[in-house]
Chains A and B, each alone.
Chain A
Amino acid sequence: MRRLRLAVQVCAVVLGVAVAASAQAPPDVVAAARREGRVVVYGSLEADAFDVIRKIYEQRYGVPVEYWRAASTRVLDRALAEHRSGRGLFDVVLTNAGPMRILKAQGVFQKYVSPTYEDFPPATRDRDGILSPSYRMVVISVLYNTRLVRPEEAPRTYADLLDPKWRGKMVMPDPTLHTTTATWLVNLRRVLGAQWRPFVERLGQQVGLVESFLPVVQKLVAGEYALGITYVKYVKQFSEAPLDYVRLNPVLADAHLVGLARNAPHPNAGKLLIDTLTSRAGLHALAQTGEFVLVPGIYPPIKDADKLRVVLMEDLDEQEFRKARDELGPLFRRR
């Protein structure tokens, strides 16, 4: 496995660094953005969450935002195809750290350091000044159906997940089909140390498998399974459903980044969009939709979100994914 080259990114993200209010955008950039007429964004952020950013942006600058939403690998495929053929239609890309680093390595982005980046923890900033800091995280934990599991019976630690009473009652995405789950399992090694291998082996015997995080929460809500490994934010998004989550310590999270296209057709409008998204006001609005953001004192409306110790995961490269798939496959698919 690759050395821990991104030790800084792996470190616990301190949620208490001041992020100042966004600086006022220079008037010439705003005027140029208005002349450009619109901004085109490709991303994997949920449409409802992106809508709050769109509203702030359009109110501030009067420039319409066009948002193409797709899963992160599709964002990667389309942005790369357009970039390589010189037919880029997009100004801004926002998605998980893994695809964003591939796009950066392929020269899809130009340098842009928003004034708002000053206020993020230095550990999360891009040394090359191309990608944004991790402005948003998707936090992974264990959710449970409160009609099937009373809070006092719920597991409290990673080890509790191996209790025989959960056998066949727990569901998670197939790590050989779902890359974030594979990344999560590999990153657990740093949390569990020597206990990692036995943990993963026994977890494989406990769980039912589905395709991704969304079917996990759907099966929990429907009562088909009692526990499931999935995103914590679903507790907010399915707020009327009988759902709660286990306060694991630490919880692992996938970082999301944003970048400005090298051949952006509307570069100034794109810069203003990145400024808005990573501004305090933008992140505050995003948090209200249930997202975990890197603003001190601002948390999503999810109980105990402020008490979680969040650790950003280290993303895997192609070889590491293949190795993880080969290693984890027999443990999880031996039926």
Chain B
Amino acid sequence: MQLGGAVSRTLAWPRAWGRADATVWIGGGVGVLLAFLTLYPTAMLFYGSLSDAPVGTLGRFTLAHYRAAYTDPATYRLMANSFVFAAGAAGLSVLLGLALAWITVRTNAPGRALFELVALAPNVLPPLLVATSWTLVLSPRIGILNLTLLRWLGLPPLNVYSLGGMVFVEGLVLTPLAFLIIAAALRAMDPSLEEAARLAGSGHLDAARRITVPLVVPAVLAAGTLNFVRAIESFDVPAVIALPAGIEVFSTKIFREALAAFPPNHNLAATYAVSQLVIAVALVLVYRRITGLSERYATITGRGYRPNVVDLGRWRYVASGAALLILGVLVVVPFLVLVYVSLLPFYEVPSWEVLGRLTGRHYAFLLQSDRAARALRVSLALALGGATLAMLLASLVAYFAVRRRGRLTGALEALSFVPWAFPGTALAIGLLWAYVQLPLPIYGTVWILLISYVTRFLPYGLRPMTATMVQVHRELEESSRVCGAGFLRTFQRVLLPLLKPGFLAGWAILFTIYVREFSTSVFLYTPRAEPVGPLLYHLWQDAQPGRMAALGVVVSLICVVVVGLARRWVGEGKTLR
């Protein structure tokens, strides 16, 4: 196999390892699989960006879409707007995620196990709902907070319909992902380094600044990178907040001119997506450059350690208070709005009279509805299976990307980002065209959903895995190989247990995303197996916000229980015994 040969030359195995063949084959296999999953659907879109015929059909070569997209001065003006928005939102998410992760993972603050589980919940809620919830809280006219607290305190109303409002809400939407990636890295870190710093005379804050911060830099960068691109691409928050505020960003332009045009112009959408791809790949390169000295960060070595926590003394209550405050903004507000909407015939500003109108009928509907029960079954199966498969693939990709650094392995990591740079709706079209034409019995079955979930969200699983992988020193696997274990055995017995924090973090992100995934599912699901995401969206779209909110509440609770059980079952945190 040519590719396998090329991989083996580039990767330059340590000769002592002997059985390099299996590794080469597996490396090649992962590369081919990844290339197929990512390049096949995106090639449809790239081809479309250079063709004068609709995506999926043969056409003539043209640069007209590029001219239309990139000679318009508005494109660059809006990119600048988007940049401010995305940088602000990504920055806020990393800040909140880091604070929450440090408190829950590295300190003895009371209640931290619960915080950690609860921090996941907002990932289950579609961003559209989170954004809508915040308009109900912070609208200058009807916002609950503006009408109550701020009025009583005599403060001017806060206005969610502003650039600051967009950054705030998008930042919150992105925080669970940042939290999970950073928490995974913190969990995999050897705390004896901090202790050493403290013994050497540094205070807690100083130890955190000098030891913890540099060690979590790869994870922070990973979270920042992912969230930056995600914010550039996001349409939900801009649609709910920027539109009424009269603020224009890049993603609203893509929607206006390509995706929401009639008929939708997917060629143009793909053309716009190319610039997102360039940004994403550039960020990956920056990230790889910074983590290039990965040995510097390797903290899990053969010495063995028991993870312990930093004793904050009386400050631990302050830490808990800070975590509670973050969770209040992150989870409690949108979730309470959701519960409130699920108990009312229609939304109205809270008052004493409203209490008389509370109803449980939307939950009764869920209990009676075959459609809701089936959607839950389909989505749970897809989320459990999909998240596990995606994380196994992500572990292998992360291994080759971190351990076998070379041109091809860099390409491997960049590959996983390709589909992710496209707006969800545009990628869904690429997937639709790719698999409808494939002469395999995949299209029209639930398998296509599984494939598309793995393809689109692989970077989410990959980031926590690579962030954890750079911390695992290679001496452990080398010992295993020296003792005669082959690649697969080493991977299964040594690496996977060490990577458990990253694996679980990625698994939890993917599980919560898959359970409510909408924009790809909606094109590809079959009527016999409608998942939760499209059902939530259609309940919303069919003017049934009460039912939608009730289903949202139920799905969030199920997710928290499943992720909690998974953690307990895997026994996270006990990396070395």
Q: Would you call A210 and B345 a contact (CB within 8 A)?
A: no
Task: Decide yes or no: A222 and B543 within 8 Å by CB, A179-B262, A321-B262, A333-B248 being known contacts.
Answer: no
Give A73's nearest chain B residue, CB to CB: B264
Q: Would you call A177 and B255 a contact (CB within 8 A)?
A: yes
Q: Would you call A77 and B523 a contact (CB within 8 A)?
A: yes
A222 CB contacts on chain B under 8 angstroms = 136, 142, 347-349
Of the candidates B262, B433, B437, the one whose C-beta lies within 8 Å of that of A73 is: B262
Q: Would you call A211 and B243 a contact (CB within 8 A)?
A: yes
Task: Decide yes or no: A318 and B527 within 8 Å by CB, A85-B437, A218-B545 being known contacts.
Answer: no
The reply to whether the CB of A102 lies closer than 8 angstroms to some CB of chain B is yes
Give B248's nearest chain A residue, CB to CB: A333
Q: 0/1 per residue, B100-137, Cβ < 8 Å to A?
A: 00000000000000000000000000000000100110
Q: 0/1 per residue, B72-84, Cβ < 8 Å to A?
A: 0000000000000
The reply to whether the CB of A190 lies closer than 8 angstroms to some CB of chain B is no
Q: Would you call B432 and A98 a contact (CB within 8 A)?
A: no
Q: Would you call B543 and A238 a contact (CB within 8 A)?
A: yes
Q: Would you call B433 and A47 a contact (CB within 8 A)?
A: no
The reply to whether the CB of A87 lies closer than 8 angstroms to some CB of chain B is yes
Q: Interface-forming stretch among A4-12, A64-72, A191-199, A252-260? A: A64-72
B159 CB contacts on chain A under 8 angstroms = none
The reply to whether the CB of A303 lies closer than 8 angstroms to some CB of chain B is no
Q: Would you call A223 and B141 a contact (CB within 8 A)?
A: yes
Q: CA A218 – CA B346 in complex, angstroms?
A: 9
Of the candidates A210, A217, A318, the one whose C-beta lies within 8 Å of that of B262 is: A318
Of the candidates A77, A238, A241, the one whose C-beta lies within 8 Å of that of B429 is: A77
Q: Would you call A218 and B347 a contact (CB within 8 A)?
A: yes
Q: Would you call A87 and B243 a contact (CB within 8 A)?
A: no
Q: Would you call A214 and B540 a contact (CB within 8 A)?
A: yes
Chain A interface residue count, CB cutoff 8 Å, equals 56
Task: Decide yes or no: A89 and B526 within 8 Å by CB, A73-B263, A214-B540, A240-B345 being known contacts.
Answer: yes
Give B264's nearest chain A residue, CB to CB: A73
Q: Would you call B239 and A46 a contact (CB within 8 A)?
A: no
Q: Would you call B541 and A68 a contact (CB within 8 A)?
A: no
Of the candidates B141, B263, B347, B436, the one whose C-beta lies within 8 Å of that of A221 is: B347
The reply to whether the CB of B416 lies closer than 8 angstroms to some CB of chain A is no
B260 CB contacts on chain A under 8 angstroms = 73, 177-179
A208 CB contacts on chain B under 8 angstroms = 244
Q: Would you call B349 and A223 a contact (CB within 8 A)?
A: yes
The reply to whether the CB of A76 lies closer than 8 angstroms to some CB of chain B is yes
Q: Would you call A102 and B443 a contact (CB within 8 A)?
A: no
Task: Decide yes or no: A77 and B432 within 8 Å by CB, A209-B244, A321-B261 being known contacts.
Answer: yes
Q: Would you call A85 and B436 a contact (CB within 8 A)?
A: yes
The reply to whether the CB of B210 lies closer than 8 angstroms to some CB of chain A is no
The reply to whether the CB of B486 lies closer than 8 angstroms to some CB of chain A is no
The reply to whether the CB of A176 lies closer than 8 angstroms to some CB of chain B is yes
The reply to whether the CB of B256 lies closer than 8 angstroms to some CB of chain A is yes
Shortest Cβ distance from A259 into chain B, in angstroms? 16
Q: Would you call A209 and B349 a contact (CB within 8 A)?
A: no
Task: Decide yes or no: A240 and B346 within 8 Å by CB, A67-B527, A74-B522, A217-B543 being known contacts.
Answer: yes
Q: CA A176 – CA B349 in complex, angstroms?
A: 31
Q: Would you call B243 and A47 a contact (CB within 8 A)?
A: no
B141 CB contacts on chain A under 8 angstroms = 223-224
B543 CB contacts on chain A under 8 angstroms = 46, 214, 217, 234, 237-238
Q: Would you call B142 and A99 a contact (CB within 8 A)?
A: no
Give B347's nearest chain A residue, CB to CB: A222
Q: 0/1 per residue, B409-450, Cβ < 8 Å to A?
A: 000000000000000000001001100110000011000000
The reply to whether the CB of B406 lies closer than 8 angstroms to some CB of chain A is no
Q: CA A335 – CA B346 in complex, angstroms?
A: 32
Interface residues of B in 215-266 (CB under 8 A from A): 239-240, 243-244, 246, 248, 252, 255-256, 260-264, 266
The reply to whether the CB of B57 lies closer than 8 angstroms to some CB of chain A is yes
The reply to whether the CB of A60 lies closer than 8 angstroms to some CB of chain B is no
B54 CB contacts on chain A under 8 angstroms = 80
Interface residues of A in 212-236 (CB under 8 A from B): 214-215, 217-218, 221-224, 234
Shortest Cβ distance from B272 into chain A, in angstroms? 15
Interface residues of B in 6-57 (CB under 8 A from A): 54, 56-57
Q: Would you call B142 and A98 a contact (CB within 8 A)?
A: no
Interface residues of A in 248-294 (CB under 8 A from B): none
Q: Would you call B436 and A71 a contact (CB within 8 A)?
A: no
The reply to whether the CB of B363 lies closer than 8 angstroms to some CB of chain A is no
Q: Would you call B349 and A77 a contact (CB within 8 A)?
A: no
Give B265's nearest chain A residue, CB to CB: A318
Of the candidates A46, A102, A241, A335, the one whose C-beta lies within 8 Å of that of B542 is: A46
7 contacts between A and B (CB under 8 A): A66-B526, A81-B429, A81-B433, A87-B436, A98-B262, A178-B260, A241-B346
